[in-house]
Amino acid sequence: MANAKRNTTQIDNHEFPGRFRLVQEMLAVSPLQTYRRSAWELAEQLSFPSKKDEAWRWVDLSELNFAELRQVNGSARTAVLAADKLESFIRNEKSYLGSLIVSPAGVIRQVDAQAEHAGVIFTDFRTAEKEYPELVAKFAGSVVKPDESKFAAMTAALAEDGFLLYVPTNCRLEKPFLVQILAAAGNHQATFTHTLIWLEAGASADLELAFGSLPAGSASQTFHSGIVEVHLDDEAVLNLTEIQEFDHQVWNITHERAQVGRNTRLAWLYGALGTHLSKNFVDIDLLGRDAEVQVKGFYLTDDKQHIDLDTQQNHLAARTTSNLLFKGAVTESSAAVWEGMIYVAPTAMQTDGYQSSRNLVLSRSAKVNAIPGLEILADDVRCSHGATVGKIDEEELFYLQARGIPLLDAEQLILEGFFGEVLELTPDEAIKEDLKSKISKKFAEVRSRREHTEVG
Amino acid sequence: MAQLEIQNLHVQVEDNEILRGFNLTVKQGEIHALMGPNGTGKSTLAYAIMGHPRYQITEGDILLDGESILDLSPDERSRRGIFLAFQYPVAIPGVTLANFLRVAINARRKAEDPEDKGISIVKFRQMLKAKMELLKMDPAFAGRYLNEGFSGGEKKRAEILQMAMLEPRFAILDETDSGLDIDALRIVSEGVNALAGDHIGILIITHYQRMLNYIKPDFVHIMYGGRIVESGKAELALRLEESGYAWVREKYGPLPKEEEELTS
Ligand SMILES: Nc1ncnc2c1ncn2[C@@H]1O[C@H](COP(=O)(O)OP(=O)(O)OP(=O)(O)O)[C@@H](O)[C@H]1O
Ligand SMILES: [Mg+2]
């Protein structure tokens, strides 16, 4: 009975649109008017994902206070944060071809003039809508469809933040781009972001994409929903490093997909450290022959975090290769889910597909679910998968301890080594070091809490 | 009283008693060799001294400089100066040999002085380079993941490199000679000799005379059925090399396990 009662409150609470509105002035100037309107209608029609939906069965949204959520629009946006505070997020430690900070509080953009001259477009989503309406209208919704979930539809309709990176045919960029997407924090604010990464034939680029939070106004629930659309035309090459480090009060849902053409190379490094709860769909469609994709991911969860990653490698053309490895460690009372699927279409002969997930459980109340899947409809393919969940090896710990390294340091060293394999995917030493130190910092926090409770 | 004293040690692994009243004292400056048939408990002894949690001490004591170390964790024992070169070194994926050694050295410094900022990179590199040269190791090993994909002999050499870097007061070398080719055996033995001296006591666990040709032991002990049954000088090792353990079995009878098998 208690359950039934809870369900009714949940439905009330999750009534759409709640406090969300399609802002007419915004629509009026948007090249995505039709797209946004029909997405809004979809958002009204589609039901909230629940545990009854296969893809959402590990995701518990009942505690999300949806009715309270509101998007910061229009003039209220700039009031979110003083501009000088936003500048404190600027990172100058290395030379980027372009860097972009996108947030409800404003945008800070810098881009190499020569790259712009060569036809590269690198700008925040709202500016892209205004200045490149044809491109945005062509790209938006071509890779991730608004009907993929209620959240995808809401995001398609409402996104004001995000960015466009467009690299024209045969334009090869040597230096990386950096984008920091900062969501509003606290005060039940919701941020919707739409990201378009579009490489024309023979183009190549490196992009570091970081999701984070603005300084929090309050500790209340905060919401982010994002769409990430990646398109690689034939022969294009993209190194994408994505790191999610939202504050712990953020509920985060993303629909991310890359569609890659003939003889493309995509390396996608995906790290998840933040949020209270995350549900991420990370899909790869291999559409052209000889495409090669590598996806490596990591997650390290603490406290009561729940991170749920759903990956798909869809082989839709012959002689395509995909190689996916996710590594995770769960601590304290947190939980992580990785569910993967390799799909091989009947025509995708000579596919080479691999997926694997390796997990370490570092506390008794932490949980991991790692579920690989294969659906192969073609002959003459090489596909395999593996998933492991275990503890840190006792013999490894003892070996390090026998060299004088205290237990917790030994655990940290093993953990850093464990994640090292995944970080190898980025060719950029600075990014690698940065991610390493983020992982170490988070683990050090877990450690110090543990040391305190053990002493106390 | 710089010595490592093992007194009447009884050790169980998963309810099987492996060590049954083991006694041995190793003083600084001494080299002891411990020999004995397979499964007699030599590695068990080494693990028990190092404090492996799976090896339960049910009776007896291990004293370092007159103080029991049984309550110390393995890392504390290491930092007090005990070193074990493993018979089967463990691979640590993703952790380079150099990084691992730096962490190990810094752990020692930090234990001595909580304010310590760690060894300088330059000093560490110089030290590592010198010790690797001593053991004629390819410098590339420093950047490789610890023991991962190392050949048997390479692992053993890396163990002695660790010993050289950590400068222990008591070192137990558990079959360091096995897996080494003839040249490597000489190089590693010379390396150990270079580390030997008045400031260190060494216990060499081995099956063969070959390492003892380079590293001259002061004492040789034969272990059988979980304790030392014979002790002598270097000649004892030569006797084993010639005639095996048959005379030991004859003199001390079959082991309890073997007895069970005989009667059933
Ligand atoms: N973790 C363990 N679990 C079960 N039995 C064990 C374990 N460790 C040791 N033993 C048993 O204890 C006995 C002694 O083993 P130990 O490794 O100490 O022998 P050893 O003298 O080092 O032999 P070797 O010369 O082959 O290295 C063996 O019978 C072994 O099977
Ligand atoms: Mg042994």
Q: List, in order, residues 6 or more apart from B221 with CB less than 8 Å away.
A: B24, B32, B33, B34, B35, B228, B230, B231, B236
Which of these, A298, A268, A293, A240, lies nearest to A417 by C-alpha position? Answer: A298
Domain-embedded: residue B154: no
Residue found by looking up tokens 């390799």 in the block: A342
Are B43 and A370 a contacting pair, CB within 8 Å?
no
Measured CA to CA in angstroms, residue B23 lies from A125, A295, B7 at distances of 76, 57, 5
**What is the Cα–Cα distance from A404 to B203, expressed in whole angstroms?**
19
Which of these, A337, A336, A338, lies nearest to A305 by C-alpha position? Answer: A336
Measured CA to CA in angstroms, residue A101 lies from A124, A136, A209 at distances of 8, 19, 10
**What is the Cα–Cα distance from A149 to A16, expressed in whole angstroms?**
13
H or E element at residue B219? strand B219-224
Q: Are residues B202 and B221 in the same domain?
A: yes
**What is the Cα–Cα distance from B156 to B159, expressed in whole angstroms?**
5
Q: Are residues B186 and B144 in the same domain?
A: no
pLDDT for position A14? 79
Q: Are residues B120 and B247 in the same domain?
A: no
pLDDT for position A4? 41
pLDDT for position A10? 44
Read off the pLDDT of residues B182-214 as tens digits, 9 standing for 90 and up.
999 999 999 999 999 999 999 999 999 999 999
Which amino acid, A110?
Q
**Which ligand is the nearest neighbour of the Cα of B45?**
1
Are B200 and B170 a contacting pair, CB within 8 Å?
yes
Residue found by looking up tokens 């994505």 in the block: A242
Q: Are residues B19 and B9 in the same domain?
A: yes
H or E element at residue A265? strand A265-272
Residue B251, both tokens = 């003199």
A401 and chain B: CB distance < 8 Å anywhere?
A: yes
pLDDT for position A75? 59
The range of the structural domain enclosing residue B248 comes to: 3-89+168-263
B20-44: average pLDDT? 97
**What is the Cα–Cα distance from B74 to A395, expressed in whole angstroms?**
12
Residue of B nearest to A422 (CA): B94
**Which ligand is the nearest neighbour of the Cα of B44?**
1
Q: Are residues B100 and B120 in the same domain?
A: yes
B240-254: average pLDDT? 92
Q: Are residues B205 and B243 in the same domain?
A: yes
Across the interface, which of B53, B145, B166 has its CB nearest the CB of A403?
Answer: B166
Domain-embedded: residue B200: yes
Residues in chain A: 456
Give the total number of structural domains in chain B: 2
B132-157: average pLDDT? 95
- The DSSP line for A92-111 is -SS--SEEEEEETTEEEEEE
pLDDT for position A5? 41
Are A100 and A180 a contacting pair, CB within 8 Å?
yes
Domain-embedded: residue B160: no
pLDDT for position A419? 96
Q: Are residues B105 and B180 in the same domain?
A: no
For CA atoms B159, B22, B206, B64, give the dihedral sign: positive
H or E element at residue A128? helix A125-131
Read off the pLDDT of residues B49-95 as tens digits, 9 standing for 90 and up.
999 999 999 999 999 999 999 999 999 999 999 999 999 999 999 99
Residue of A nearest to B84 (CA): A402
Banded model confidence at residue B22, pLDDT cuts 50, 70, 90: very high
**What is the Cα–Cα distance from B233 to B33, expressed in whole angstroms?**
9
A454 and chain B: CB distance < 8 Å anywhere?
A: no
- Phi/psi of residue B249, nearest 5 degrees: -60, -40
pLDDT for position A6? 41
Decide if A420 and B78 are in contact by the 8 Å CB cutoff. no
Sequence-ordered alpha helix ranges (H) in A352-428? 394-401, 407-423
- ipTM exceeding 0.85? yes
Q: Are residues B77 and B172 in the same domain?
A: yes
Chains A, B: CB contacts within 8 A come to 81
Q: Are residues B10 and B59 in the same domain?
A: yes
**What is the Cα–Cα distance from A265 to A280, expressed in whole angstroms?**
22
pLDDT for position A11? 46
Are B170 and B64 a contacting pair, CB within 8 Å?
yes
**What is the Cα–Cα distance from A244 to A308, expressed in whole angstroms?**
13
Q: Which atom of ligand 1 is nearest the CA belonging to B44?
A: 18
The stretches in chain A having pLDDT less than 70 are: 1-13, 74-84, 93-94, 454-456
Q: Between vectors from CA B9 to CA B7 and to CA B12, what angle results, nearest 5°?
A: 170
**What is the Cα–Cα distance from A63 to A276, expressed in whole angstroms?**
11
CATH value at residue B182: 3.40.50.300
pLDDT for position A28? 87
Q: Are residues B175 and B81 in the same domain?
A: yes
Which amino acid, A382?
R
Q: For chain A, which residues make up each domain, given as ranges?
A: 31-287
Q: Are residues B48 and B172 in the same domain?
A: yes
Rounded to two decimals, the pTM is 0.90
Are A405 and B107 a contacting pair, CB within 8 Å?
yes
* Distance (Å) from the alpha carbon of B50 to chain A's nearest alpha carbon: 7
Q: Which atom of ligand 1 is nearest the CA belonging to B87?
A: 27
pLDDT for position A87? 78
Residue of B nearest to A418 (CA): B94
Q: Are residues B96 and B57 in the same domain?
A: no
**What is the Cα–Cα distance from B85 to B48, expressed in whole angstroms?**
14
Domain-embedded: residue B104: yes
**What is the Cα–Cα distance from B134 to B130, expressed in whole angstroms?**
6
